[in-house]
Structure 1
């Protein structure tokens, strides 16, 4: 009986330890930029592969992975001769095949050891970054493989949309910048393919050709806005970020007031009428002392390929017109949907060291407030993000409702390269 009891106790303690180690995202974890914020924010595991010397050495010197790399480069060379500028053929040659994804995943599993470079990558970077947090219930080895699969399929998605012209999740705002039916487009893809081959023909890491193709595709489509204003804590958010550490949080009922953007439909309009009205309501709540910060959230969204950023324009309006102090406004300039207004704000709250267990409020139009609180936003989040990044609180008025940020918000969305 004692033996059974101690076995049970050991199992229970092991389970608790395992669970606590399974996910410990850390607010002070410093995301490694790598070659660009576009890459690190979309494909963080591959950024770690490139930038951690011990990991890079392990992967680039593994015979199996070296063989896969050589075959990929050879396949690119063959495609340039055989595809004859056929877009689908060229784009497929730059993507990962399902066989490659499985083969590489299996090899990473073989190479993984708890105390080697890959083990340290998972324990010191993958887990504390929180960027693959939805895999938190898996073993560390499984988390590594899952992250690889996510990055690989994310790269395939980017190439599929921004080279092959496949439909993104929101075609009206996120689709390819070129007319794929134009007679000159196959030549452009042929030139892109040649550039990818030239830039990666000496690669010693298996993913370089495909990630190069994805990043170049975003570049030529002028779709690199995910990197705008980064690192934000030392650029557009420096004043607010520096002020955070001075706040007596007990003096405020809420931590932040979130204002989701409302993009105009006319190219020359910087801020829509709806956006102005949302800012005015939020300013009233700020001056009432509900929270020490206002988060203005919205990217370069409406109309298609607009040059104006919703969050930046809202901040200008609030500072210049409504006299809200600049150091009380946190800019979130990347969200493209209401789902990511919520998610990206939760991320900033966590990363900036704002109390994560303190209630926040949304301040917006009556219709959007209803959509966030009572209607289908949580279901849409589940469908599009594979999680809900917030927990609902109580309704305060027709235009305000409480929410609490959730840690799942840190998860990268590989199928939204403009705001992953």
Structure 2
């Protein structure tokens, strides 16, 4: 019996919407470096490389491999040569420090040869990569392939950050995320050269350190460290909420959270936009009805370009100080830069903070936003993220719609270094 093309597309859509990464675990604790300049950006953007840096046995296996050590030596020597010869040529510096296709393939070959089910590479895969969910898009592949794909993704993430924040290539959202420097600035090449020098200075033992440190340094020079804003949130701005979550009986509520997407102002002097105020008031009504025990306010330092104000931080202040919502009922999500990541990041916090993932959440926002969230947004997520982070539920009103979380949301987004 033939299945019509329309029915086949519907089946594929439903399959992708409901697809969840294998072996992901809510009890898993992400490894965050303790002695790094940019620990929160490093673990969020390049989790496999972060594990290589932080797990002693894995670090030892990497540093003892002759092929990977030669790659480190070559990369260091090439960087030193670039400082002497590249002059004003920004692309010369960038191409020297980025990973070439040949280098990515070389590391792939070495990881393929080094991997054994019961050695440190196999154990890292089973005890870290898979339960973390950071590479969930690859979880259906054979285990060794997950390791290789994770490396390829991290290498692409480093190259992407260098491409945008050194070479000035267009990011996904140029108006808010572009490079801070003019390519015609005569002093800019000196900054790039100095960044390369700092990236290879010191006792570097891991093959990826020069390139990764250069990418992280480029983010710092551009003032684009938003991915680290307010971290560590679970033991900082969200600590009281995390404690309250552990005491909460979610069976007493229809929804786990009420999500409020941010709405940034268009001038640098406004802390909270009129849209943000209205969205907070709409959500507060649902909270006071007892629809959910927690509100998630979501939005980073987005509008206008390089603003100092965080949408979520300002919304929580308004919720607590003006609307009298309990401080331990408002979760701050300070990194989302678009509506796609409002939902994705909310689901990430739900997962990491131990909320039930089989219970729906509620989006509460302005009337004009709901049709987009229940309609076109899902395909926008698929296009930008590579998966559907949620499944839409029932529309309750002109300002409320249900969503069902998908743990694929834990997947790192390699081409969004300000919110990976």
Pairwise same-fold verdict (TM > 0.5): yes
Range 180-189 or range 409-418, more displaced: 180-189
Residue number in structure 1 paired with 2:411? 411
Bigger relative contact order (CA 8 A; separation at least 6): 2
Aligned counterpart, 1:386: 386
After superposing the two structures, state which structure 1 stretch, 92-101 or 225-234, moved more.
225-234
Return the match for 2:197 from 191, 194, 198. Answer: 194
Structural mapping, 1:96-175, within 5 Å: 96-175=99-178
Shift of 1:198: 2.2
Per-residue CA deviations over 1:174-222 (Å, capped at 9, x if unaligned) read 11111222222222222222222324xx422110110010110111111
Unaligned runs of 5+ in 1: 1-21
1:405 Cα deviation after fit = 0.5
Q: Which moves more between the two structures, 37-46 or 226-235?
A: 226-235
Q: 1:49·1:55 contact (CA, 8 Å) conserved in 2?
A: yes
Distance 1:366 1:163 in 2: 40
Q: Return the alpha-carbon distance in structure 2 between the equivalents of residues 197 and 118 of structure 1.
A: 26
Which of structure 1's runs of 4+ aligned residues deviate more than 3 A?
none
Could you say which residue in structure 2 is the equivalent of 1:242? 243
Which residue pairs with 1:273 in the alignment?
A: 274
Over the aligned positions, Cα root-mean-square deviation in angstroms equals: 1.2
Q: Is the 8 A contact 2:97 2:211 kept in 1?
A: yes
Alpha-carbon contact 2:350-2:357 (below 8 Å) kept: yes
Q: Distance in 2 between matches of 1:240 and 1:194?
A: 43
Q: Measure, in 1, the Cα distance between the counterparts of 2:263 and 2:158.
A: 30
Deviation at 1:73, TM superposition (A): 1.0
1:4 equivalent in structure 2: none
Distance 2:287 2:392 in 1: 21
CA contact (8 A) 1:85 1:189 kept: no
For normalisation by structure 2, the TM-score amounts to 0.93
- Give the number of aligned pairs: 397
Alpha-carbon distance in structure 1 between the residues aligned to 2:163 and 2:389: 27
2:86 aligned with 1:83, yes or no? Answer: yes
Stretch moving more, 287-296 or 71-80: 71-80
Match of 2:154, SS state, is helix
1:52 is aligned to 55
> 2:397: which partner in 1?
397
Give the secondary structure class of the aligned counterpart of 1:233: coil
Note the residue ranges of structure 2 that are not aligned, 5 or more in a row.
Answer: 1-20
Partner Cα separation in structure 1 for residue 236 and residue 200 of structure 2: 36
Paired residues of 2:199 and 2:209 also in contact (CA < 8 A):
no
